């Protein structure tokens, strides 16, 4: 597996979201050819969460397109509220195929005032 994808997985694991751990375990078992898309993004200010997800989609680390995936993990951390996280997840769903399964999670980190980081990994 590519180093950049492993780094994303470890960042998400450090946030401690147990609901996403099972999907991360599945990712660790995949061949790197099964990972279609991965990205990291940042956002600042009032629209930080949505901007981080948009940035994440724009900063594709891999060669594949996000629309080719059957499953997507979206994780947001920082100054993240539930409504912002929901809106960002809905935005992601609006730019991918309808049949794609989106697993999203978020964690609040008070040390990241007015800042959000987002991570996306998609696979089939």
The C-alpha atoms of residue 56 and residue 119 are separated, in whole angstroms, by 6
User: Stretch 45-49: mean pLDDT, rounded?
Assistant: 96
What is the average pLDDT value for the chain, to the nearest integer? 81
Do the beta carbons of residue 77 and residue 84 sit within 8 Å?
Answer: no
pLDDT, tens digit, for every residue of 53-78? 999 888 876 666 777 778 888 889 99
The confidence band for 116, taking pLDDT boundaries of 50, 70 and 90, is very high
Report the relative pairing of strands 101-108 and 71-78 from DSSP bridges: parallel
Please tell me whether the overall predicted TM-score, pTM, comes out greater than 0.85 for this model.
no
Domains held by the chain: number:
1
The confidence band for 1, taking pLDDT boundaries of 50, 70 and 90, is very low
CATH number, residue 85 = 3.30.1330.20
Instruction: Give the 3-state secondary structure percentages of the chain, helix then strand then coil, rounded to 5.
Output: 45, 30, 25
Q: List the domain range (segments joined by +) for residue 106.
A: 3-123
Kindly provide the b/e burial profile for residues 71-108, where b requires at least 16 CB atoms within 10 angstroms of the residue's own CB.
bbbbbbbbbbeeebbeebbeebeeebeeebebbbbbee
Do the beta carbons of residue 35 and residue 100 sit within 8 Å?
Answer: no
């Amino acid at each position: 597996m590519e180093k950049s994808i492993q780094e994303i997985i470890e960042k998400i694991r450090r946030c401690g979201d147990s609901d996403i751990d099972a999907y991360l375990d599945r990712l660790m078992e995949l061949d790197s050819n099964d990972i279609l898309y991965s990205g990291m993004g940042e956002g600042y200010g009032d629209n930080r969460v949505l901007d981080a997800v948009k940035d994440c989609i724009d900063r594709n680390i891999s060669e594949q397109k996000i629309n080719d995936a059957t499953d997507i993990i979206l994780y947001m951390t920082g100054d993240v509220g539930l409504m912002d996280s929901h809106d960002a997840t809905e935005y992601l769903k609006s730019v991918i195929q309808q049949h794609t399964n989106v697993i999203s999670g978020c964690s609040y980190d008070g040390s990241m005032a007015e800042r959000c980081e987002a991570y996306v990994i998609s696979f089939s």
